[in-house]
């Protein structure tokens, strides 16, 4: 409808492209101001006429149109009143389609998303939960827009810390304990190493020597390292399974260990490598940034060197149009430096194709969590606790629903995810069980509950099958029209979320649809006698259910049919 009106304006005005007209069009703040508005301020400059006069001229030029009830000039605006029935029909036709919200703007294009990426031998903590959830949602959003998305888990599985772990394991570890306690035991060994190294600094030299051995392909060193890595992956996998998340590539830092040499040569050949206190760096002073460290004084590569190698590898392997990095904002400088070095090596594409997607911190005030050791909070424990709390609520309120465990899992996990994704990602996330598990308010359970309510209504009506063959003139209540308008925003919402790298746009939309639905549900009886009216009203329930489901799927959240 909007593009139809945009076309009308475009044909009857000079000096604007169709795209510009589309961009200028607005949705009026109040329903009595029409369905769409076009401001004429901008034209006033070029046409040297008062905007009111321009509006009046356009109105005159457009004349009568079958799908418009009225066009009014209000101040500098042209307000369009769409014929309700045509409007309703158009919205229903769009929303009922299987692929509503999808598009093919990404067809033939590849986007790499680097997310989750925990550090091997360390626990999968709440910070990594954020990158995992946000990255997964971006993957779904871009896939919906037709992009080919490569999900990359850039594991932190290389670096001097593994030298330390090997030293600690050999000195104080035992196989049984590691087998038994996995990452928790490895973390203990790591802590122990630091305590002991404070007393006896020569341990640090030993650790460096072991890491050197790893870099030189020493069999024993690599065997222990691989074992630690496998143990860690098994634990991470449990969290990924809870979340229903998978990756296309687990090529982490170790994958690039034989690819950093080529990067260093490239930098050297471009005359960008300089020496500083024995280390090799790229000076970035001209760009107001600290230098990017490339090689340490002992000649070993670092995190940034491996990231540089990864960028060239990915560009070559996937030919991405974008490569996104979802990490905490404390890595802002790191990515700015790395991206700058790529650009300075003559790759102009780095400027808009490499994007850091930072997010805020997680605060756990108010959320008492059982911790396995010390104050370390495992993402897995948060998810399990949410599930068990929901299970209690179900046992208390609705013990007879089928698939209780499955339902509790969907709601518990959904609640944690929704709480994370509802606010702009750069904002800090706070964890308050009472808030995030609430079935009222802007929460996952509230949206899922609305979905389940739709499902329950649909189970009760006889002979309903979704179709566009309904009498649209029967949908007259403001609540019905508001709901339909809300649902219609979906394609734009998906697109906006992708442009801003913001799953919160989708989360907020899901709440808006749920709230509009609940207003509609309170205002209109749905299961009425009259066939035609019932059909029309139930169709809105069907569209709500379908749209909520699709929106939540974009956040990685599933909907239970009953709750
Ligand atoms: N392992 C890192 C961490 O836990 C995140 C890695 C992000 N990705 C990257 N290509 N640097 O902080």
**pLDDT, tens digit (0-9, with 9 covering 90-100), for 127-153:** 899 999 999 999 999 999 999 999 999
Q: Quick check: 9 and 55 in contact, CB under 8 A?
A: no
pLDDT value, residue 1: 85
For residues 90 and 513, what is the distance between their CA atoms, to the nearest angstrom? 18
Q: 323 pLDDT exceeds 60?
A: yes
pLDDT digits (tens, 9 = 90+) for 467-519: 999 999 999 999 999 999 999 999 999 999 999 999 999 999 999 999 999 99
pLDDT value, residue 146: 98
Q: Is 6 exposed, middle or buried (0-12, 13-18, 19+ CB in 10 A)?
A: buried
List, as one string, the DSSP characters of 154-192: --B--SHHHHHHHHHHHHH--HHHHHHHTHHHHHHHHHH
Q: Is 412 in the pocket of ligand 1 (CB under 6 A)?
A: no
Ligand 1, atom 5, lies closest to the CA of: 117
pLDDT digits (tens, 9 = 90+) for 445-475: 999 999 999 999 999 998 899 999 999 999 9
pLDDT digits (tens, 9 = 90+) for 398-449: 999 999 999 999 999 999 999 999 999 999 998 888 898 999 999 999 999 9
> In Å, what is the CA distance from 330 to each residue of 193, 336, 350, 361?
26, 11, 21, 10
pLDDT value, residue 369: 57
Q: Where are the beta strands (DSSP E) in 205-295?
A: 273-276, 279-282, 292-295
Q: Please, which pLDDT band fits residue 173 given cuts at 50, 70 and 90?
A: very high
pLDDT digits (tens, 9 = 90+) for 102-112: 999 999 999 99
Q: 226 pLDDT exceeds 90?
A: yes
CA of 325 to the centre of ligand 1 (A): 8
Q: What token pair was written down for 55?
A: 């509006």
For residues 176 and 426, what is the distance between their CA atoms, to the nearest angstrom? 42
Q: What token pair was written down for 450?
A: 């609305």
Q: Is 307 in the pocket of ligand 1 (CB under 6 A)?
A: yes
Which atom number of ligand 1 is nearest to the Cα of residue 328?
12
- Determine the average pLDDT of the residues in 292-307: 93
Chain position carrying tokens 């006889």: 462
CA of 151 to the centre of ligand 1 (A): 14
**Residue 417, CA atoms < 13 Å, CB-side half-sphere:** 34
What sign for the dihedral angle of Cα 463, 466, 472, 474? positive
> In Å, what is the CA distance from 169 to each residue of 3, 186, 228, 309, 348?
66, 8, 10, 30, 46
Q: Compute φ and ψ for 437, nearest 5 degrees.
A: -95, 5
pLDDT value, residue 15: 86
For residues 124 and 235, what is the distance between their CA atoms, to the nearest angstrom? 8
Distance of CA 448 to the CA centre of its chain: 19
Ligand 1, atom 1, lies closest to the CA of: 156
Q: Please, which pLDDT band fits residue 14 given cuts at 50, 70 and 90?
A: confident
pLDDT digits (tens, 9 = 90+) for 65-103: 999 999 999 999 999 999 989 989 999 999 999 999 999
Which atom number of ligand 1 is nearest to the Cα of residue 252?
10
pLDDT value, residue 126: 87
Q: Are strands 429-430 and 362-363 parallel, antiparallel or unpaired?
A: parallel
Chain position carrying tokens 């500083």: 276
Q: Is 117 in the pocket of ligand 1 (CB under 6 A)?
A: yes
pLDDT over 90 percentage in the chain = 89
Please give the span between the terminal C-alpha atoms of the chain, in angstroms, as a whole number. 37
Q: Is 131 in the pocket of ligand 1 (CB under 6 A)?
A: no
Q: Are strands 322-328 and 354-359 parallel, antiparallel or unpaired?
A: parallel
Q: What token pair was written down for 100?
A: 């509503």
**Residue 174, CA atoms < 13 Å, CB-side half-sphere:** 3
Average pLDDT, the chain: 94
pLDDT value, residue 289: 97
Reduced to 3 states (helix: H, G, I; strand: E, B; else coil), residue 140 is helix
pLDDT value, residue 368: 56
Q: Please, which pLDDT band fits residue 543 given cuts at 50, 70 and 90?
A: very high
Q: Is 488 in the pocket of ligand 1 (CB under 6 A)?
A: no
- Determine the average pLDDT of the residues in 338-353: 98
Q: Is 253 in the pocket of ligand 1 (CB under 6 A)?
A: no
pLDDT value, residue 253: 97
Question: Helix axis angle, 503-523 relative to 444-460, nearest 10°?
Answer: 40
In 3D space, the residue among 254, 223, 258, 562 whose CA is nearest the CA of residue 408 turns out to be 562
Q: What token pair was written down for 133?
A: 């959830």
> In Å, what is the CA distance from 314 to each residue of 87, 118, 248, 255, 310?
46, 19, 13, 12, 6
For residues 437 and 434, what is the distance between their CA atoms, to the nearest angstrom? 6
Decide: pTM greater than 0.85: yes
For residues 505 and 495, what is the distance between their CA atoms, to the nearest angstrom? 10
- Determine the average pLDDT of the residues in 164-179: 96
Q: What token pair was written down for 520?
A: 């509609």
> In Å, what is the CA distance from 44 to each residue of 11, 40, 342, 352?
17, 6, 45, 35
Q: 375 pLDDT exceeds 70?
A: no
Chain position carrying tokens 């649909």: 458
């Amino acid at each position: 409808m909007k593009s139809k009106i945009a076309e009308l304006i475009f044909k009857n005005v000079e000096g604007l492209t169709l795209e510009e007209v589309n961009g200028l069009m607005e949705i009026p703040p109040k329903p009595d101001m029409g369905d769409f508005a076009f401001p004429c301020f901008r034209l006033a400059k070029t046409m040297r006429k008062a905007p009111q006069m321009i509006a009046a001229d356009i109105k005159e030029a457009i004349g009568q149109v079958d799908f418009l009830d009225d066009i009014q000039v209000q101040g500098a605006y042209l307000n369009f009143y769409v014929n309700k029935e045509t409007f309703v029909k158009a919205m229903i036709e769009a929303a009922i389609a299987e692929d509503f919200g999808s598009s093919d703007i990404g067809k033939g294009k590849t986007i790499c998303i680097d997310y989750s990426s925990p550090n091997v031998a360390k626990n999968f903590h709440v910070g990594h939960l954020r990158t995992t959830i946000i990255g997964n949602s971006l993957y779904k959003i871009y896939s919906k827009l037709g992009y080919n998305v490569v999900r990359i888990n850039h594991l932190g599985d290389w670096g001097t810390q593994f030298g330390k772990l090997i030293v600690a394991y050999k000195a104080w570890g035992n196989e049984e304990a590691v087998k038994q306690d996995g990452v928790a035991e490895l973390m203990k060994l790591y802590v122990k190493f630091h305590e002991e190294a404070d007393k006896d600094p020569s341990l640090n030299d030993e650790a460096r020597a072991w890491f050197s051995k790893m870099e030189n392909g020493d069999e024993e060193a690599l065997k222990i390292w691989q074992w630690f890595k496998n143990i860690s992956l098994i634990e991470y996998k449990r969290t990924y399974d809870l979340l229903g998340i998978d990756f296309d590539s687990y090529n982490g830092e170790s994958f690039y260990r034989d690819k950093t040499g080529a990067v260093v040569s490239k930098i050297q050949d471009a005359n960008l490598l300089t020496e500083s206190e024995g280390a090799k760096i790229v000076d970035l002073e001209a760009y107001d940034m600290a230098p990017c460290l490339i090689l340490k004084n002992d000649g070993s590569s670092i995190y940034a060197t491996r990231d540089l190698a990864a960028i060239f590898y990915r560009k070559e392997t996937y030919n991405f149009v974008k490569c996104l990095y979802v990490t905490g904002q404390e890595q802002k400088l790191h990515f700015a430096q790395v991206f700058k070095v790529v650009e300075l090596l003559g790759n102009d594409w780095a400027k808009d194709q490499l994007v850091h997607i930072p997010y805020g911190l997680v605060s756990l005030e108010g959320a008492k969590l059982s911790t396995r050791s010390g104050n370390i909070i495992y993402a897995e424990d948060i998810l399990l606790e949410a599930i068990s709390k929901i299970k209690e609520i179900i046992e208390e309120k609705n013990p007879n629903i089928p698939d209780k465990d499955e339902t509790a899992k969907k709601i518990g996990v959904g609640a944690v995810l929704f709480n994370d994704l509802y606010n702009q990602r750069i904002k800090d996330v706070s964890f308050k069980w009472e808030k995030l598990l609430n079935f009222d308010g802007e929460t996952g359970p509230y949206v899922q509950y609305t979905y389940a309510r739709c499902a329950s209504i649909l189970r009760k009506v006889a002979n309903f099958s979704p179709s566009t063959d309904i009498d649209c003139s029967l949908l007259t209540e403001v609540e019905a029209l508001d709901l339909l308008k809300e649902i219609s925003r979906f394609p734009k919402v998906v697109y906006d979320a992708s442009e801003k790298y913001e799953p919160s746009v989708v989360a907020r939309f899901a709440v808006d649809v749920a709230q509009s639905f609940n207003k509609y549900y309170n205002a209109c009886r749905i299961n009425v006698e009259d066939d035609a009216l019932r059909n029309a009203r139930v169709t809105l329930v069907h569209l709500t259910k379908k749209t909520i489901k699709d929106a939540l799927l974009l956040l990685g959240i599933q909907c239970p049919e009953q709750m």
